Structure 1
Amino acid sequence: MELARSTDPLSGEVSSAASIKTFLVEPNALLREGLRRILADTVYSPSPATGALDETISRQAHGGGNVVLIIDATRDHQETCCQARKLKETIPSAKVIMLVEQYDLKQVLEAFHAGADAYLKKSISCEVLVKSLDLVMLGEAIFPGAILELLQDQRAQISESKDEAASDEPHEMAAPTKGLSVRETVILRCLMDGDSNKIIARKFDITEATVKVHVKAILRKIQAKNRTQAAIWASSHLPASRQTPPAG
């Protein structure tokens, strides 16, 4: 794997007094050169650097500035997640962008829990890549919208398994986690289904403004940055339940 680095000053929407140090890890020489050319005229322009990734990152730990790691996660996803986690432990403010050939629910969740800031397909356009980097530098997390469909499929499979094993007697909804109220829990389930605020408002006969307040509280309590992160978190933490509480 070849390593690359950039020290161009941050400008435009993501301006900062510090510099961006961009590290590129991509084993495919053709794709690596393509990424270099795509990023050449941006603040993320990588240039060749020597040494192993661990050594280079360690040298940057006390150097200040913004650190961005763009890394291939296709060949050894688990190792890539380990590297992402190690980078975050060494430099908490560092940003990790993982590049993959296709989406897999289990791997997306692994990347999310490892601290990845963006999970992108290698087939995206040049403009989307650069814009995604800008959004990440502004504090956004970018995960595939298609993951919501995968979450729905997983949720359906879990529900079917639970239904087969459950008794016919009614049971109480499991206690919400992270201090979520019952209303917030069911709205979080709606986020897993990809429902918009308008759809959620119609389901529970409440206003969209009220839904927004609930969503904001949910994101704060589970420490998620957006609805997609909330849906991913819910798939791992919310128990399956067949009951929906009354509107109110």
Structure 2
Amino acid sequence: MADIQKIVVIDDHPLLRKGLQQLIDICPDLEMVGEASNGLDGLEIIGELKPDLILLDLNMPNMNGLETLIKIKKMDPDIRVIMLTVSDEEQDVVDALRNGADGYLLKDMDPEELLLKFREVAKGKLVLSSCIIDCLGRALRKQANVSELTNREREILIHIHDGESNKVIARKLGITEATVKVHVKHLLKKLNLKTRVEAAVWVANNNIH
């Protein structure tokens, strides 16, 4: 039996939190262990409960979602965080992903699709609403140029798109993990990207093979 993924929801709308609780309750592999109406309370709950996944609203009073995200990732970089919001603004998407978000989903998604995305991010995948992929793709297309990459960097870029860690990439390519890290650093710099998440989305939007 798969491990149960513990979830904390941070959102200032009580009806949304209740709806997510009811949605998650129908899934035996997911458990909502805590909720908070603001970032400060959310950070405290995260410290106590050590969840696997955070569902985080972007627009909240006092401490917004982006500020909360940054603090969560400083607290524990391995905690998976999905921004669950109504905003499809390009800058909001880019800022969230550049600060460590593992997904960016819109609140108007179908419940079944939301559950699918929750499970995917728990497995280490990047999850995005379809319209967000288009939005982010436009932003990244303005700045990235694949022609500057070496063949090895292109190869590693595709593995990043597949959601593979440096350790897995190193094993598949028969090189050291340290070498992979160097290649990743170089390819991000050449593409003017800051994170692996951006690189993965860029590959998807530019049909790189």
TM-score (norm 2): 0.64
Residue 59 (structure 1) aligned to one of 45, 48, 64 = 48
Distance in 2 of aligned mates of 1:44 and 1:217: 28
User: For 1:58 and 1:98, how far apart are their aligned partners in 2?
Assistant: 19
Question: Does structure 1 retain, via aligned residues, the 8 Å contact 2:160–2:200?
Answer: no
| Cα distance in 1, alignment partners of residues 6 and 134 from structure 2 | 35
Provide the C-alpha distance between the structure 2 equivalents of 1:82 and 1:124, rounded to a whole number of angstroms: 24
For structure 1, which segment, 214-223 or 119-128, has the greater mean C-alpha deviation from structure 2 after superposition? Answer: 214-223
1:60: Cα distance to partner? 3.8
| Match for residue 120 of structure 1 among 105, 114, 125 | 105
Aligned to 1:136: 121
* Deviation per residue, 1:155-193 (Å, 9 max, x gap): 78x69xxxxxxxxxxxxxx9x8xxx762559xxxxxxxx
Q: Residue in 2 aligned with 1:32?
A: 17
Q: Residues 62-104 of structure 1, C-alpha deviation per residue, up to 9 Å, x if partnerless?
A: xxxx521112113469821121121112122101111111311
User: Alignment RMSD, CA only?
Assistant: 3.9
Measure, in 2, the Cα distance between the counterparts of 1:103 and 1:78.
20
* Residue segments in structure 1 that go unaligned for 5+ positions in a row: 1-10, 160-173, 186-209, 235-248
**Secondary structure in 2 matching 1:46:** strand
C-alpha contact (below 8 Å) 1:120/1:144 kept by paired residues:
yes
2:202 aligned partner:
230
Equivalents in 2 of 1:39, 1:226: separation in Å? 28
Match of 2:71 in 1: 86
Runs (4+) of structure 1 moved beyond 6 Å? none
Distance 1:36 1:225, change over 3 A: same
Given that residues 90 and 135 in structure 2 are in contact (C-alpha distance below 8 angstroms), is that contact kept between their aligned partners in structure 1? yes
- Which structure carries more helix by proportion? 2
Output the TM-score relative to the length of structure 1.
0.55
- Higher relative contact order (Cα pairs below 8 Å, separated by 6+ residues): 2
Taking the aligned partners of 1:122 and 1:68, their CA distance within structure 2 comes to: 17
**Greater Rg over alpha carbons, structure:** 1
User: Per-residue displacement from partner, 1:44-75 (whole Å, max 9, x unpaired)?
Assistant: 332556892222222245xxxx5211121134
Structure 2 unmatched ranges of 5 or more: 162-179, 189-194
Alignment size in residue pairs: 171
Whole-angstrom distance in 2 between the partners of 1:48 and 1:151: 31
* Contact in 2 for aligned 1:184/1:214 (Cα 8 Å): no
- Given residue 98 of structure 2, which amino acid in structure 1 is its aligned partner? H
Secondary structure, counterpart of 1:124 in structure 2: coil
Q: Offset of 1:150 from its aligned partner?
A: 3.3
Q: How far off its partner does 1:119 sit?
A: 0.5
* Cα 1:79–1:139 shift into 2, 3 Å: same
